[in-house]
Amino acid sequence: MPSPEDINEEIPSPSKGITPSTRHYSGLGPILEMPSSAFRVICHLDMDAFYASIEQRDTPALRGRPVIVGAPPTQRGVVCAASYEARKFGVRSAMPSATAGRLCPKGVFVRPRMERYSEESRAIMRLVAESGAIIEPMSIDEAYLDLSAPCQMEDADASLRAALPVARDLKQRIASERHLTATIGIAANKLLAKIASDHQKPDGLTLIAETKKTQFLRPLPVRALFGVGKVTEQVLHQAGLRTVGDLQDYQGDLRALVGSFGRKLKEFAFGQDDRPLELGDEIKSISGEETFLRDTEDRRVLRACLKTQAADIADKLRRRRLGAHTVQVKVRYGDFTTLSRQISVEEPITEANEIYRVGCFLLGREKLVNRPLRLLGLGVSNLHEPQAKQLALL
């Protein structure tokens, strides 16, 4: 099993060879301008079981108990989030509440309070902004931080270690001011920073050194790499490629297995990733809708329509290597009255069956099919990188 970089190692003094200038990013304060040869320092901050942790903080009687945020198992509903105590029983986001109740009979079901979670997210991001980092928010409970400018040292690993005090201070402030825990990963790029934050949860701090990244990655499952979803994972397994080390050692052309993604996958296997933080416009949503020739409330027709839309959305998510935190449905009746409803979950959804299930739940919960429909639509939004679901070290 690989071990993270010793995070207690002494921090060297800044390199005297770098003379920074100052520029400003909106809302972030002064940021150092870096020379083209600067070493990258990227952090991934991930709040631990965010929705459930807020409920446990706000209601002390829930602490240490398996908390499931979502509708109770006796009602039609889905799981929005689960505490670590509940996850041990296999409970996860987008799962039907009834299934969660069977898996975790002693689970405490709590109705979601999205406004409360959003309010808390804004408070945490204000603390993050005070660190002086350039920020790419990924979802309500995670973000990438670029600390390259203020952490420049004489080499790549020293620069990474210079971010440790910033990360420790940020974790301490979140704990003392918000009474929540966060896990932070530090590395030279987004790929490795995300893997680092997944390495020691909850309340972890992991640094992956540039000089040790190849060795660190070797025993991880291929699913740990960005862009490797369920379908790609199955293809790689069929070719006998189960670990990142297998990808590193593979002598063939990965494009024969995974198409144009093969070249990038090989780079990822060696910890190479040049993706910048996305600070501008990006794809906001993916959706589809169908207008029927005749208004209908036939459940078979509507289910078939939703399944087709869910499959198309999942395919687009897979090609863009994204996951969705929000699912919404849209209906239009014969009189052109149009309604839409949505629900958000903590862990991103990527699979067609999950999108379909949540869509059906929304239609049922809101009783939207109470008369024939002229149009039915399904969509996803709040799109970000999906969490790797198989990160346990082999």
Residues with catalytic roles: 142
Cβ density class 318-327: b for 16+ within 10 Å, e for less:
beebbbbbbb
CB-CB neighbours of 14 under 10 Å = 16
Query: For residues 377 and 339, is the Cβ–Cβ distance under 8 A?
Result: no
Report the alpha-carbon distance of residue 80 to residue 96 in Å, rounded. 10
d(CA 345, CA 81): 6
3-class DSSP string for the chain:
CCCCCCCCCCCCCCCCCCCCEEEEECCCEEEEECCCCCCCCEEEEEECCHHHHHHHHHCHHHCCCCEEEECCCCCCCEEEEECHHHHCCCCCCCCEHHHHHHHCCCCEEECCCHHHHHHHHHHHHHHHHCCCCEEEEEECCEEEEECCHHHCCCCHHHHHHCCHHHHHHHHHHHHHHHCCCEEEEEECCHHHHHHHHHHCCCCCEEECCHHHHHHHHCCCEHHHCCCCCHHHHHHHHHCCCCEHHHHHHCCCCCHHHHCCHHHHHHHHHCCCCCCCCCCCCCCCEEEEEEEEEEEECCHHHHHHHHHHHHHHHHHHHHHHCCEEEEEEEEEEECCCCEEEEEEEEEEEECCHHHHHHHHHHHHHHCCCCCCCEEEEEEEEEEEECCCCCCCCCC
The span from the CA of 381 to the CA of 101, in Å, is 27
- Of 7, 38, 9, 4, which is closest to residue 21 (Cα–Cα)? 38
How is residue 292 written in tokens?
């029927």
Q: Find residue 45's DSSP bridge partners.
A: 143, 184
